Amino acid sequence: MSLLEIDRINSYYADSHILFDVSLSVEESEVVALLGRNGAGKTTTLKTIMGVLPARSGSIRLENQPIEALAPFEIARRGVQLVPEERRIFGGLTVAENLDLASLTATNPLSLEAIFAYFPRLGERRSSRGRNLSGGEQQMLAIARALIRDARIILLDEPFEGLAPLVVRDLLEVAETLASQGRTILIVEQNVTAALDLARRVYVLNNGHVVFEGTTTELRSEPAVMKNHLGV
């Protein structure tokens, strides 16, 4: 039984059909990458899992329990945490306050000290307001808010987008540490190299359809898929 099982979901924005019978699974303690060009349906998939965009049909199961009809806050309480591309931290609150707020409704929240062990820079900036953080620091805080809730599975939407290479390297190291400690991650990312270095398995979307499923090694051995659907 997979930790997360998505079976033939179809999602729409108004009358526009975006996802077509998308199926994927994520095992406990596994890192899976969801790749594709812009507009392929990757972010829509994460929003559908999270209940932000309800699926019109299909099923989504967490630990074999259906969640597709639940509200986003109920899905979050069950251990699914979305780190959106926009980050959506509270600019008027400090780093510590952002984390404290995220932990309020968590069943077994991690301590601030545990979070700052992953992100020492956030520990240094704990009294700084969110709006005063750099882009990389804001992304660290967005991930830390999900982590402090002791998430069963973290959905990362473009975590490296627009960040300097050195910041990407630091964030990738944190993600690799989380993976090595058994955290379950589903990552959407345009940086194909970084995503494939982190993940064990990968799904490729094109125009809302899954066009490839396999290990990262298998994807690297499919140059046509890499070129046609990922542009590499």
Q: Three-class SS string for the chain?
A: CCCEEEEEEEEEECCEEEEEEEEEEECCCCEEEEECCCCCCHHHHHHHHHCCCCCCEEEEEECCEECCCCCHHHHHHCCEEEECCCCCCCCCCEHHHHHHHHHCCCCCCCCHHHHHHHCHHHHHCCCCEHHHCCHHHHHHHHHHHHHHCCCCEEEEECCCCCCCHHHHHHHHHHHHHHHHCCCEEEEECCCHHHHHHHCCEEEEEECCEEEEEEEHHHHHCCHHHHHHHHCC
Mean pLDDT of all residues in the chain? 93
User: Which residues are registered as beta bridge partners of 65?
Assistant: 62
**Pair of tokens at residue 1:** 């039984």
**Pair of tokens at residue 23:** 């199926």
Tokens 């992100």: give the residue.
119
In this prediction, residue 107 carries a pLDDT of: 85
pLDDT exceeds cutoff 80 at 223: yes
85 within 8 A of 43, measured Cβ to Cβ: yes
pLDDT tens-digit series, residues 132-156: 999 999 999 999 999 999 889 999 9
pLDDT exceeds cutoff 70 at 45: yes
In this prediction, residue 86 carries a pLDDT of: 87
Selected residue with higher pLDDT from 207 and 85: 207
pLDDT exceeds cutoff 70 at 157: yes
Percent of all residues in the chain with a pLDDT value above 70, rounded to a whole number: 99
pLDDT exceeds cutoff 70 at 117: yes
pLDDT exceeds cutoff 70 at 232: no
CA gap 175, 134 in Å, rounded: 19
Q: Which CATH architecture has domain 1-79+156-168+184-232?
A: 3-Layer(aba) Sandwich (3.40)
Selected residue with higher pLDDT from 232 and 176: 176
**Pair of tokens at residue 50:** 């999270």
In this prediction, residue 161 carries a pLDDT of: 85
In this prediction, residue 214 carries a pLDDT of: 97
pLDDT tens-digit series, residues 69-86: 999 999 999 999 999 988
Name the residue ranges covered by the structural domains of the chain.
1-79+156-168+184-232, 87-151
Average pLDDT over residues 86-90: 90
In this prediction, residue 172 carries a pLDDT of: 87
In this prediction, residue 170 carries a pLDDT of: 87
Average pLDDT over residues 82-101: 94
pLDDT grade for 26, boundaries at 50, 70 and 90: very high
pTM above 0.75, yes or no: yes
4 within 8 A of 153, measured Cβ to Cβ: yes
